[in-house]
């Protein structure tokens, strides 16, 4: 049943507390911005700091202009995740294409990530109220409050602009698309146009439905992996056997442990361009170390340890399933874990499983978070009770308003990947049909990371949707 939609609250303008401008190589004029916004827009319980970079071309006119140039319209990039800040503008695939089309680019770090009051275990230990207080704090890090932050920043940055110029454009990659659909549900008046890449969220689908679909996609990618690297069937089993022979866990250089479940979560990379090859490289390093030394060397363990950086991006792990909880009576209850351990291809998720119970391929998991993550990553270990509270929560606020999306007036231009391992394409198609005014470019020759891997092709297709006509 469709939820009533997110609560619409009064959003005061963010307070700009710092602005510093620098020129970067490549003629980029970058302004580093810090803002103050409420932690909770519904209750006065303090504030947090947001960080953003605005990027324009650094232009030196031959003649001094007679009048001050009007501000360029903003295009706001909404990063995937949740849990990751923005990369530097000189390394961002959108910077030059966006500037060449007359926008200024705004790279806004979501609350709790990047430089926007980033969440970590140490700072959470200082949140009042113990584990329940920490869970409440983390529950404020989802799409709905990110939209409110964006609106607060928009009102701040466009103060004094003509009314018709105040709405801005947004570009949502992956989870950034989830934020974009919440934005359309909550404050479409703040938007001029929306671009999405792999971001047509599964609106109206439960967490269980999401993971049933993504496990199927992940299994297909496992077959692709072992078809390309058949020798890795035995290599993966040999590494798993070594881990099992050491009592099931091997200490890692920076803390935490290598377990068989942690080894098999490397498959999260399968959904991106080059991901299969990257996993093979890690397996090759580990197996070579075993063959040459009889142990897993520090170098090989460091490579594995840094593969999925959850210790520095804990929001990705701890509220990952919460982004699919759209409204009350929609607890996740470790949905990925429940769905996966019931699947015969992922029996290693069961705690009593041993290697001898499975012959042949050991299948990797994909973009899923399990309770086992909170046993093996040092930054997550102390947060296991907090993660449990969030997993059992069943009074989540709504994230989308399907009735409002069905009468949407803001143009939406979306790239959707038919073989996307992270965002199920059939669900994406349902969402595209739901959101009025959506134009979609579908392809089976790109994966979820195409914005980075094939940025020129993706952006050409998206802007063609906006600028070209069918007839």
What is the set of active-site residues?
174, 420, 448
Enclosing H/E stretch for 108: strand 104-108
Question: Could you tell me if 170 and 180 are in contact, meaning their C-beta atoms sit under 8 angstroms apart?
Answer: yes
Q: How far is CA 301 from CA 107, 286, 341, in A?
A: 33, 7, 26
How far apart, in whole angstroms, are the C-alpha atoms of residue 44 and residue 306? 38
Is-contact 221 271, C-beta < 8 A?
yes
Show Cβ contacts of residue 5 under 8 Å, excluding neighbours closer than 6 positions.
185, 186, 398, 400, 401, 402, 403, 404
Residue 172: exposure state from Cβ atoms within 10 A (0-12, 13-18, ≥19): buried
* Distance, CA of 306 to CA of 69 (rounded, Å): 46
Phi, then psi, of 25 in degrees rounded to 5: -55, 140
Retrieve residue 397's tokens.
């606020």
Q: Return the half-sphere exposure (C-beta side, CA atoms, 13 A cut-off) of residue 252.
A: 23
CB 266 within 8 A of CB 304: yes
**CB distance 109 to 37 below 8 Å:** no
Structure tokens of 349? Answer: 């998720």
Is residue 414 within 8 A of residue 451, CB to CB? The reply is no
Q: What is the DSSP letter of 409?
A: -
Q: How far apart are CA 21 and CA 39, in angstroms?
A: 27
B/e letters for 312-338, b = 16+ CB within 10 Å, e = fewer, are ebbbbbbbbbbbbbbbeebbbebbbbe
């Amino acid at each position: 049943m469709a939820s009533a939609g997110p609560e619409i609250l009064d959003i005061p303008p963010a307070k700009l507390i710092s602005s510093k401008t620098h020129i970067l190589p490549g003629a980029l004029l970058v302004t580093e911005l810090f803002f103050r916004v409420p932690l909770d827009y519904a209750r006065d319980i303090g504030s947090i700091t947001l960080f953003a970079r605005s990027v324009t071309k650094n232009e030196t006119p031959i003649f001094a202009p007679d009048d001050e140039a009007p501000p360029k319209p903003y295009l706001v990039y909404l990063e995937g995740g949740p849990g990751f800040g923005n990369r530097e503008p000189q390394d961002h695939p959108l910077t030059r294409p966006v500037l060449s089309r007359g926008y200024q680019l705004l790279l806004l770090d979501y609350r709790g990530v990047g430089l926007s009051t980033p969440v970590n275990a140490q700072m959470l230990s200082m949140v009042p109220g113990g584990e329940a207080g920490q869970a409440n704090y983390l529950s404020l890090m989802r799409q709905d409050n990110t939209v409110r932050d964006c609106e607060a920043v928009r009102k701040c940055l466009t103060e004094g602009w003509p009314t018709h110029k105040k709405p801005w454009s947004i570009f949502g990659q992956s989870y950034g698309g989830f934020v974009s659909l919440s934005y359309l549900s909550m404050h479409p008046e703040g938007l001029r146009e929306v671009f999405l890449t792999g971001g047509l969220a599964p609106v109206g689908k439960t967490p269980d439905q999401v993971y049933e679909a993504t496990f199927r996609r992940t299994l297909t990618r496992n077959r692709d992996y072992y078809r390309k690297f058949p020798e890795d069937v035995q290599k993966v089993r040999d590494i798993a056997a070594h881990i099992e022979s050491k009592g099931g866990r091997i200490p890692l250089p920076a803390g935490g442990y290598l377990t068989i479940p942690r080894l098999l979560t490397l498959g999260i990379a399968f959904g991106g361009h080059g991901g299969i090859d990257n996993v093979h490289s890690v397996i090759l390093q580990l197996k070579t170390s075993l063959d040459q030394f009889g142990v897993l060397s520090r170098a090989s363990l460091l490579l594995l340890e840094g593969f999925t950086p959850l210790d520095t991006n804990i929001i990705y792990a701890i509220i990952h399933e919460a982004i699919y909880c759209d409204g009350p009576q929609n607890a996740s209850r470790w949905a990925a874990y429940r769905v996966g351990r019931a699947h015969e291809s992922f029996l290693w998720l069961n705690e009593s499983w041993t290697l001898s119970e499975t012959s042949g391929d050991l299948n990797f998991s994909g973009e899923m978070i399990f309770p086992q993550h909170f046993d093996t990553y040092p930054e997550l270990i102390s947060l296991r009770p907090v993660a449990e509270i969030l997993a059992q929560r069943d009074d989540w606020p709504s994230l989308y308003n399907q009735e409002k999306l069905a009468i949407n007036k803001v143009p939406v231009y979306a790239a959707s990947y038919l073989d996307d391992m992270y965002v199920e394409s059939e669900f994406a198609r349902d969402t595209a049909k739901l959101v009025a005014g959506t134009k979609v470019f579908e392809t089976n020759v790109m994966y979820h990371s195409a914005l980075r891997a094939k940025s020129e092709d993706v952006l050409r297709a998206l802007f063609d949707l906006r600028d070209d006509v069918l007839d």
